[in-house]
Amino acid sequence: MQVTCEKTPARTRSRWLVRSGVKPKATIRLFCFPYAGGSTNIYHSWQGLLPETIDVAPVLLPGRGECFSEAPFARLSEIVEVAAHELAPYFEESFAFFGHSMGALIGLELTRWLRRNNRMMPAHLFVSARGAPQLPELIEPTYDLPEPEFIEHVRQLNGTPQDVLSHPELMQLMIPLLRADFAVCQTYKYEPEPPLDCPLTVFGGVGDVEVPAAHLSPWRELTSSAYQLHLFPGDHFFIHTAQADITRTIAKELGR
């Protein structure tokens, strides 16, 4: 596995990409964005699960993994602006975006940034476990809760491993990242724009109480192209339990 965190002028490297293996027969690259508090390990097995025609490129955001020492962004606009420049050399060949929860917002807003700046657009946008962004946010912000309440909130979300939650030193390392990522999601304000013209596929969890199916359907308003909604067994983090079904669906859509 090649991990680079330093800035480099080389067009074939980016500090934001973690590559696992090489697919010389690939015809499209799938950029994968993490959920809040997540890193590239979410997508560690996807390179093997997807066919040789799809090259998986997990995106390493600051504040995690090999780039842990870098301060995480707390605003979505900052992530999008930097990502657009970090990944620009890879946007000259066919590519698609996948994002889960926070990652879905990154994928959407990066796609809209590319359109506003007359750049090449993704062949497909996959969004997962995130309600349609034009819907009003009904949940009160939690990123600035006092620490005991914040940790309890994180525990209830069921996305942080128990061995981390029960380890105070590890939690102290994770809290700044979690607060920043929650702020990314909870300070985001959707700005209306014309529908995208790329296909849009939405994934949801049948048992996801945070993002019910009724909040997923309105994504269809954000594209004038093909739209599909797929629901899988599991809660908000069905991305871990339904990997085979998710990647099978992605392969089918990108193979059209």
Active site residues: 101
The answer to whether 125 touches 111, Cβ cutoff 8 Å, is yes
CB 208 within 8 A of CB 235: yes
Joined tokens for residue 66: 């090999």
CA distance readout (Å), 242 to 87, 230, 231, 237: 28, 12, 10, 9
Q: Which of 134, 133, 122 is nearest to 98 (CA)?
A: 122
Q: What is the DSSP string of 16-84?
A: TBEE-S--TT-SEEEEEEPPTT--GGGGTTHHHHS-TTEEEEEB--TTSGGGTTSPPPSSHHHHHHHHH
DSSP 8-state assignment for residue 91: G
Q: Among candidates 53, 48, 49, 71, which has minimal Cα distance to 61?
A: 71
For residue 72, what are the CA distances in angstroms to 1, 39, 186?
23, 12, 15
**Dmax over Cα atoms in the chain, in whole Å?**
50
Q: CA 220 to CA 201: how far, in whole Å?
A: 9
